[in-house]
């Protein structure tokens, strides 16, 4: 049966379908905006399937010539002397420059910060650290991005907090700003100390 010979009711329904879809999309957008205003929705707060679990197994080569120890999952196994921060970053990532002072601050305060240089050339990663300072106690190079996929990384920067038992307790997608550091990360560092 062609559209021209379709019953009038069906043709009428086809005319209203786009209007219904637009109304549903508008309602969803309105709910999202309300959540942003009330703080109930954070687009960066996408949950991680790894929360409450140990990180996946991995072993990464060092970032040469940064002269830092390489990073592997063995470095993240319990018991850990304190909570640790694992940061996925890249030299080509502009938000990584924004968050870098907060990582430097944590490192100066004695918080172990481990890094994963994501989809970056080793020389570029080393040059970034030479230019901006090195907050990392250990640093691995994930040039193909496979370890990041196993961790569920959406993009850089992305930061994880592991407790002393080596379990992932927090994940944040986006740059760690001074506000995020004080509001979210510091209380968790104290809690899991």
Q: Are residues 111 and 174 in the same domain?
A: yes
pLDDT exceeds cutoff 80 at 57: yes
Q: Are residues 27 and 118 in the same domain?
A: no
Residue 50 is assigned to a structural domain of this protein: no
Confidence of residue 41 (pLDDT cuts 50, 70, 90): very low
Confidence of residue 31 (pLDDT cuts 50, 70, 90): low
pLDDT exceeds cutoff 90 at 19: no
Q: Are residues 167 and 110 in the same domain?
A: yes
What are the CA-CA distances from residue 66 to residues 26, 83, 102, 126 (Å)? 50, 24, 20, 5
Contacts of 131 (CB under 8 A, 6+ apart): none
State residue 41 phi and psi, 5-degree precision. Answer: -125, 125
69-126 confidence digits (pLDDT tens): 999 999 999 999 999 999 999 999 999 999 999 999 999 999 999 999 999 999 999 9
Residue 58 is assigned to a structural domain of this protein: no
Residue span of the structural domain in which 111 resides: 73-191
Contact 102, 181 (CB under 8 A): yes
Residue 54 is assigned to a structural domain of this protein: no
**For the chain, how many structural domains are there in total?**
2
Residue 52 is assigned to a structural domain of this protein: no
pLDDT at 40: 43
Q: Are residues 137 and 79 in the same domain?
A: yes
Q: What is the pTM of this model?
A: 0.77
């Amino acid at each position: 049966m062609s559209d021209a010979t379709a019953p009038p009711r069906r043709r009428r329904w086809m005319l209203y379908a786009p209007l219904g879809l637009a109304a549903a999309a508008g309602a969803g957008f309105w709910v999202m905006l309300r959540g942003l205003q009330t703080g109930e929705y954070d687009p960066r707060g996408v949950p991680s399937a790894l929360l409450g679990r140990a990180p996946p197994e991995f072993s990464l080569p060092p970032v040469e010539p940064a002269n830092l120890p390489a990073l592997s999952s063995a470095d993240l196994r319990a018991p850990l002397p304190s909570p640790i921060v694992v940061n996925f970053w890249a030299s080509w990532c502009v938000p990584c420059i924004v968050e870098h002072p907060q990582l430097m601050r944590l490192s100066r305060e004695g918080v172990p910060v481990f890094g994963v240089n994501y989809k970056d050339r080793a020389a570029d990663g080393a040059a970034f650290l030479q230019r901006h300072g090195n907050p990392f106690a250990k640093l691995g190079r994930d040039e193909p991005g496979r370890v990041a996929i196993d961790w569920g990384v959406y993009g850089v920067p992305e930061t994880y907090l592991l407790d002393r038992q080596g379990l992932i307790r927090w994940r944040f997608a986006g740059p760690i700003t001074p506000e995020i550091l004080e509001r979210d990360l510091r209380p968790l560092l104290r809690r899991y100390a």
